[in-house]
Structure 1
Amino acid sequence: MSSHYEVRGRTAVITLDYPPINGLGATLRTDLLAALDRALADNDAQSIVLTGTARAFSGGADVKEFGTAKAAQEPRLPVLIAALEDATKPVVAAIAGVCMGGGLELALGAHYRVAKADAQIALPEVKLGLLPGAGGTQRLPRAIGLEAALNMIVSGATVPAAKLKGTALFDEVTEGDPVAAAVAFAERVVAEKLPLKRLRDLKVKDPQAEAFLQFARNTVGAMAGPYPAPLKCLEMVALSISKPIDEALRIERETFMGLMNTPESRALRHVFAAERAAGKIAGLPEGAPLREIRKVGVIGAGTMGGGITMNFLNAGIPVVLLETKQEALDKGLGIIRKNYENSAKKGKLTAEQVEQRMALITPTLDYAPFADVDLVVEAVFEHMDVKEQVFRKLDEVCKPGAILASNTSYLNIDKIASFTKRPADVLGLHFFSPANVMRLLEVVRGAKTAPDVLATSMALAKKIKKIAVVSGVCDGFIGNRMIARYGAAAQGLINAGALPQQVDGALQKFGLAMGPFRMGDLAGLDIGWATRKRKAAEAGVEMKPIVADKLCEAGRFGQKTGAGWYRYEAAKRDPIPDPVTEQLITEYRAANGITPRAVSDEEVVQRCIFALVNEGARILEEGIAARASDIDLVYLNGYGFPAHRGGPMLYADTVGLPNVVRALKRFAAAPGADPSWQPAPLLLKLAEEGKTFS
């Protein structure tokens, strides 16, 4: 059973117990209605208390059931809420922990509510591209007022119960056990024959309602971007003052179902599920012992090393920070301090917290203090010879059981592990720049990486508030391997007849935070240039230059040199189209016998995004990524892919895999086309079988 029934004195206590957060799936809804009917028929019970666990009253709907037959299986949540409202015995909700979404809507159906002061109250459906669909937009304004309810619903923000004390939402807020308080409250209701209160019977009183709603429409409309849900939330809340509640509830439910079918909601629900799935790793039993990480070593105090260090400091983990020269070490420490002081100026940290975090750093020019660290992350120059020197030294200095991690973006983790006598302790922890800001962490599992090393790293990622995705070993792992194909597709468009500003503009209109040429200028074109030279040298072939190489040969490395694909004015980041770039492109086309043609924005998007999809399919087929949603997380959190499209793999599902295959075959059939345009075997198979990635 997903709920328990007991009678305390003259009160029936119904306890939701459906781990982890009492999701209101079909099973729990069925059990709950049966328990309610039992309580109403129980002559020993004069009142009813409905509660959950200390962790959660209820976290809301079971998102795994969205879009399935179970979601519509009776009793649906509105039916359950109506049963509470119509109960002939007083129903008191006792709330602790999480009370969100459908869980809060359920509690709003009770006659009374008693909450623990720190209970977390929210209607966060907007974050999934939805609105509360079981009366939340109608009952919450009646409980806490129009403006407060609208702010909660449109933002999806979580509010502690203590902040809502004194409203009709809570009849009592307690620091103690809310169940004991609710039972006592229920007994008082019976003893004093208090009326059964229903929120639906209250009127929303706000003399400034129309003026406020008009202001809110302008504000919400401006911040909603491509998402329809925020404005729909607003309009549903507005119905609480303009329509009878039964009519408003019907419209709310219809609008909820309409949003459920939008691509934006599908994308946000996909991301929500993907973040939870990413932590599930085949072959790693849940609850297996982890290695304790009490102190971390970081090698390199530059941009990456400093950012990586801040992640651990923010989580209260001491860091030994190593540099080769005092000047570089001082500069790195200065930048870390400046970053924290800037946060303090914005009110995000106190001066005391800044000093506490800085005090967690042990700066060093010597490896000796690494003798007792539990994890080392190296962030040194991206060259295998340098990595070899570092890992051989770590192997000598670090204690048995210490985890040795490389922040490499491309290099072979198995080769790096071979420089040690403990390859089981080695893996990649690929942070994204700026490492103290970007949420993505690629956790690269080597052939010999021990299971507990991987599990420990995933748990640590959560502690430092990263979204961790496991990758296998290949050149560039998931993200940079795919971005190479994306970049090649963008370069091909330049060769064909497009200009950087057109390609960037089309992809930014599609929703990317930054087009490939702006991104290249920001990262530094010399990085890709060095990588192409390295790969050519490793393959023993002469490097065939592309336009980007011609820019580098001219000293145009991007923003840091004031010119790359674009020109930049001093101390500004605005990209200015540059005739010098156009001239270099024209010369390149002429030297390679290319006659430029017109390129449509639609072709720009198709070539660049489908190049990502095709390489993603190969990565899946090779087992480099465990699931398509992991690839989507990498692109959403590391490369600025638009969240409302759910990532490249979900976007391909939305477009239709047969349509993606047709486009790729068309690109592959063009004269002189790169062989990589041929559709990946997995993509072909899924399209032919009518299946999807997700």
Structure 2
Amino acid sequence: MSAVIEERRGRVALLRLNNPPVNGLGWPVREGLDAAVGRLSDDPDVDAIVLTGNGRMFCAGADIREFGTATPEHVRRLTPILDDLEGLDKPVVAAIHGVAAGGGMELALGCHYRVCGPKTKLGLPEVTLGILPGAGGTQRMPRVAGVSKALELIVSGRLISEKEAFEAGIVDELVEGDVEAVIDAAVAAAERLAAAGEPPRRSGQRTDRLHEAKDNPGLFDAFRESMAKRARGMNAPYACVRCVEAATRLDLAEGLAFERQEFEQLVNAVEAQSMRHAFFAEREVAKIPDVPKDTATRPIQTAGIVGCGTMGGGIAMVFANAGIPVMVVENDQAALDAGIAKIAKNYAATVSKGRLTQAAMDQRMGLITGTTDFLSLAATDMVVEAVFEDMAVKKELFAKLDGICKPGAILATNTSTLDVDEIATATKRPQDVIGTHFFSPANVMRLMENVRGAKTADDVIATVMGLSKTLGKVGVLVGVCHGFVGNRMLHQYLREAMFLVEEGALPQDIDRVMYDFGMPMGPFAMCDLAGNDVGWRVRQEQIRAQGGKPSNTRYSGTVADKICDLGRFGQKTGKGWFAYADGRTPQPDPEVEAIIVQTSKELGIARRAVSDDEILERCLYPLVNEGAKILDEGIALRASDIDVVWMHGYGFPRFRGGPMFWADTVGLKTIAATLQRFEKDQGPWMAPSPLLLKLAEEGKGFGDA
């Protein structure tokens, strides 16, 4: 199979990239393209060239199947091939359809003219892999689209529509119709340009769109300041800015050399390794070894939600956003009305921000029906319960659903901690029961922890994993245990944060360290956002179950309980671990500090200075250790699945690859030795897990487990 197919349209040579499914720029494609450019440049029977992609897209960039593999020495990089392509005296026209991303976009920019079809996505997303466009994208894009637009696209990695690309000057001509219509238009453009006899318009030689930066010397500093928050901890976004800045002061050859130097500094760095790991982990997570890929799935054309509070309402929005009609059931009309009103308010807020049209809001609200009649769920294909986190309440509900729902309906629980197998015992169909733990707010957060019970049927698992994608979620299959993967590990993180406060740190100290590490917020701001009363009730229930007193191990909720006793539940009450004068921004509160100091005194703990390193290690090493236990117990299929849970459910920085991959970069020997020291200083709960010790002793990482 030829990687580049050549055909003739009169005196126009049509080259089709032929590397399904995405026409990735693997070495056979580059080799074929290089040979074709050299051959056609001297062909007297060819006046112009049209370049396109075979199949459903133009080109999605690098061939990910070649990541980490060697390239034959005789095959050139894309950059010099594009230099030769752009340097041709014959017009070269790109016929773009489907996707032109990364190297595919750079290939299109190397052409002299760009024709684009409908429903096409274009952009340079390399920054999402911890690198930058390395084949001239940072040099040609600002010359074609202007400096501000190039900065925004390259640093965000955002893919844009063909219409936005046309408005920006990236695309020269829009065409309606199918792929062949786009190719026909490109051939016509090539013939027209050849007949005009004018020199090709080369992107790399343009300077007209660079005056914006030359007339505004502060443009780049202002842009760096604007991106500082979202780019914190990362190197690639700043390297992108430096390269675009170089395009405004260097000629193309010098700019390409500068871009290459920056690219090489990034490509093998931990940041890029971490983000490549995240990229592959998100694709691997859908693979379930004991559920074949061709497993038949159950149709989910209608859904029911029991409960219309924060979670239930959010889940209803998720189904409606995906175009699935949803029936929302509440016990009383007042609660139902309040829940539906909250859904409408959420949609209206999105409309007011310009991210949703009023027509789209009306369409989605039309898919949501509210009722207090549970019998209305009889015909639905799937029901998700989102009621109070109480086993007795959930079992009573599932017994009720078992008698109402049709045979084959999937019965899903949104529990965040409870035993899905025990919930399933309330029904006569445990094979139809599964956990679908949506993360809050459900209409925003992308993670779905899908919890397979001991008797959950394979087709139910396959259906729910596929449904996750339909709903715009990242579905991760996990096993049954208290807290599953995410919340079980979160407990370790929060416990040590609470202990550190008793020993000498303050909430703002710990939050600063974790924020600087890359978390979206620290543990105390997170608790304030979620509501401190949630954990408080859980702790009180556990204490009641233990006979009215904490267990013999060190209790981590002493300060937190005192905070809640004062009604400081977080942002919703204006006070929590922090004070919220404006309702959103956490500010240290002397009242909390006084409570902390007094508690340390009552516990007989002499407060001391706690270093940033200790905060980071005490918070994250036990979290990783719990992940090792989860992996060893088979609760998670892969270490990378745990990384996906934490990146999408808790905001663990993508540029660190998730907690398990990050642990590998730190070194498991280091983590195991530190935990052993903590075990002596703190207590047995810090003991490294058997799997962590084994891997450390063997010099391996979680990627080897």
- Give the TM-score normalised by the residue count of structure 2: 0.89
- 1:141-540 to structure 2, matched below 5 A, reads 141-165=142-166, 169-170=170-171, 172-176=173-177, 177-188=181-192, 195-204=199-208, 206-224=210-228, 225-226=231-232, 227-535=234-542
Return 300-309 or 631-640, whichever deviates more.
631-640
- The structural deviation recorded for 1:101 is 1.2
Residues 336, 207 of structure 1: CA spacing in aligned structure 2 closer, same or farther, 3 A cutoff?
closer
Q: Distance in 2 between matches of 1:575 and 1:230?
A: 30
- The residue type paired with residue 523 of structure 2 is P
- The residue type paired with residue 299 of structure 1 is V
Residues 246, 479 of structure 1: CA spacing in aligned structure 2 closer, same or farther, 3 A cutoff?
same
- The structural deviation recorded for 1:129 is 3.1
- The structural deviation recorded for 1:8 is 3.4
Q: Distance in 2 between matches of 1:514 and 1:582?
A: 23
- The residue type paired with residue 690 of structure 1 is G
Residue from 674, 688, 701 that aligns with 1:679:
688
- The structural deviation recorded for 1:343 is 2.2
- The structural deviation recorded for 1:205 is 5.4
- The residue type paired with residue 398 of structure 1 is C
Q: Do the aligned residues in 1 keep the contact of 2:511 with 2:525 (CA within 8 Å)?
A: yes
* SS state at 1:271 partner: helix
- The structural deviation recorded for 1:602 is 1.3
Give aligned pairs, total.
Answer: 691
Residues 108, 507 of structure 1: CA spacing in aligned structure 2 closer, same or farther, 3 A cutoff?
closer
Q: Do the aligned residues in 2 keep the contact of 1:547 with 1:588 (CA within 8 Å)?
A: no
Return 8-17 or 289-298, whichever deviates more.
8-17
Q: Do the aligned residues in 1 keep the contact of 2:502 with 2:599 (CA within 8 Å)?
A: no
- The structural deviation recorded for 1:7 is 2.2
Q: Distance in 2 between matches of 1:378 and 1:647?
A: 30
Q: Do the aligned residues in 2 keep the contact of 1:296 with 1:373 (CA within 8 Å)?
A: yes
Please name the residue that 2:645 is paired with: 634
- The structural deviation recorded for 1:595 is 3.6
- 1:592-671 to structure 2, matched below 5 A, reads 593-670=604-681
Residues 569, 33 of structure 1: CA spacing in aligned structure 2 closer, same or farther, 3 A cutoff?
closer
Identity, % of aligned pairs?
48
Residues 681, 46 of structure 1: CA spacing in aligned structure 2 closer, same or farther, 3 A cutoff?
farther
Q: Distance in 2 between matches of 1:689 and 1:71?
A: 34
- Give the TM-score normalised by the residue count of structure 1: 0.91
Q: Do the aligned residues in 2 keep the contact of 1:300 with 1:378 (CA within 8 Å)?
A: yes
- The residue type paired with residue 589 of structure 2 is P
Q: Distance in 2 between matches of 1:470 and 1:585?
A: 43
- The structural deviation recorded for 1:466 is 1.6
Q: Distance in 2 between matches of 1:472 and 1:193?
A: 67
- The structural deviation recorded for 1:74 is 2.8
* SS state at 2:475 partner: strand
Residues 135, 405 of structure 1: CA spacing in aligned structure 2 closer, same or farther, 3 A cutoff?
same
- The structural deviation recorded for 1:522 is 3.3
- The structural deviation recorded for 1:313 is 1.6
Please name the residue that 2:56 is paired with: 55
Q: Distance in 1 between matches of 2:573 and 2:218?
A: 48
- The residue type paired with residue 359 of structure 1 is G
- The residue type paired with residue 647 of structure 1 is G
Q: Do the aligned residues in 2 keep the contact of 1:146 with 1:204 (CA within 8 Å)?
A: no
- Which structure 2 residue ranges, 5 or more long, are not aligned? none
Please name the residue that 2:586 is paired with: 574
Residues 550, 192 of structure 1: CA spacing in aligned structure 2 closer, same or farther, 3 A cutoff?
closer
**1:570-601 residue CA offsets vs partner (Å, 9 max, x unmatched):** 9566354344664466346544x444333222
Return 637-646 or 651-660, whichever deviates more.
637-646
Q: Distance in 2 between matches of 1:208 and 1:347?
A: 28
Q: Distance in 2 between matches of 1:370 and 1:455?
A: 22
1:693 aligns to 2:705 (yes or no): no
- The structural deviation recorded for 1:483 is 0.7
**1:407-456 residue CA offsets vs partner (Å, 9 max, x unmatched):** 00101111212222222211111111222222221111222222222222
Q: Distance in 1 between matches of 2:209 and 2:533?
A: 63
- The residue type paired with residue 347 of structure 2 is Y
Q: Do the aligned residues in 2 keep the contact of 1:5 with 1:35 (CA within 8 Å)?
A: no
Q: Do the aligned residues in 2 keep the contact of 1:279 with 1:469 (CA within 8 Å)?
A: yes
* SS state at 2:218 partner: helix
Q: Do the aligned residues in 2 keep the contact of 1:566 with 1:575 (CA within 8 Å)?
A: yes
* SS state at 1:429 partner: strand
* SS state at 1:242 partner: coil
Residues 691, 17 of structure 1: CA spacing in aligned structure 2 closer, same or farther, 3 A cutoff?
farther
Q: Do the aligned residues in 2 keep the contact of 1:295 with 1:375 (CA within 8 Å)?
A: yes
- The structural deviation recorded for 1:88 is 6.9
Residues 165, 222 of structure 1: CA spacing in aligned structure 2 closer, same or farther, 3 A cutoff?
closer
Return 250-259 or 169-178, whichever deviates more.
169-178
Q: Distance in 1 between matches of 2:645 and 2:79?
A: 37
Q: Distance in 1 between matches of 2:540 and 2:658?
A: 31
Q: Do the aligned residues in 2 keep the contact of 1:551 with 1:565 (CA within 8 Å)?
A: no
- The structural deviation recorded for 1:181 is 2.3
Residues 190, 329 of structure 1: CA spacing in aligned structure 2 closer, same or farther, 3 A cutoff?
closer
- The residue type paired with residue 598 of structure 2 is T
- 1:583-594 to structure 2, matched below 5 A, reads 583=595, 586-587=598-599, 590-591=602-603, 593-594=604-605
- The residue type paired with residue 174 of structure 1 is V
Q: Do the aligned residues in 2 keep the contact of 1:267 with 1:644 (CA within 8 Å)?
A: yes
Q: Distance in 2 between matches of 1:301 and 1:167?
A: 44
Residues 283, 71 of structure 1: CA spacing in aligned structure 2 closer, same or farther, 3 A cutoff?
farther
Please name the residue that 1:3 is paired with: 3
Q: Do the aligned residues in 1 keep the contact of 2:503 with 2:600 (CA within 8 Å)?
A: no
- The structural deviation recorded for 1:255 is 0.8
Q: Do the aligned residues in 1 keep the contact of 2:16 with 2:54 (CA within 8 Å)?
A: yes
Residues 616, 213 of structure 1: CA spacing in aligned structure 2 closer, same or farther, 3 A cutoff?
farther
RMSD of aligned residue pairs (Cα, Å): 3.0
Q: Do the aligned residues in 2 keep the contact of 1:495 with 1:596 (CA within 8 Å)?
A: yes
* SS state at 2:586 partner: coil
- The residue type paired with residue 182 of structure 1 is A
- The structural deviation recorded for 1:511 is 2.8
- Which structure 1 residue ranges, 5 or more long, are not aligned? none
Q: Distance in 1 between matches of 2:238 and 2:501?
A: 40
Residues 464, 197 of structure 1: CA spacing in aligned structure 2 closer, same or farther, 3 A cutoff?
same
